[in-house]
Amino acid sequence: MTSQEAEKRINGKLEAVYKDILWLEEAELKKSRFKDLSIKEMHTIDAIGLHAEPSSATVARRLHVTAGTLTVAVKNLVRKGYVERRHEQGDGRVVNLALTRKGRLMYRAHAAYHQKMVASFVTGFNDHEVGLIESALDNLLSFLATQR
């Protein structure tokens, strides 16, 4: 079958995309006003998010890292002025994380970059076709979920 061929091509393209995105995001970062952040730090900011003030444990789970790893990362982000620690009312053990003004600026810049990227992804497709692309992503997500 010829679809085998297509799968191979798609695999190659996915890999190319995969390899480049992280690297490009890092390069983009170094050119921006947020030079002092690594790509991992940016993703930590992303995982904290704008609104919910998640606990340290929640963010660690989102990032698939241990609590200890996150503690260190947050310490650096606090020092650099992107993140604030807040002690939870009523349970003195819990530390909630929130972005500072600077952190929120960073978050939005990153989100804008992603938006541009996705816009390019679906350029030239009609609604129905965009729906197909979305379904393909859903397939992949289901597959990944079964693996977890």
Closest by CA position to 64, among listed 79, 91, 44, 78: 44
Closest by CA position to 125, among listed 110, 141, 109, 136: 136
Name which position in 71, 115, 139, 142 contacts DNA (CB under 7 A): 71
The binding track of 39-78 with respect to a copy of itself, each residue x by CB under 8 A or -, is ----x-------------------xx--------------
Q: How many chain residues interact with a copy of itself (CB under 8 A)? A: 54
Phi, psi of 64 (to 5 degrees): 60, 40
- Close Cβ partners of 87 (under 8 Å, ≥ 6 residues apart): 94, 95, 96
Q: Candidates 1-9, 71-79, 83-91, 95-103: pick the segment binding a copy of itself (CB under 8 A).
A: 1-9
Chain positions contacting DNA, by CB under 7 A = 38-41, 55-57, 63-76, 85, 90-96
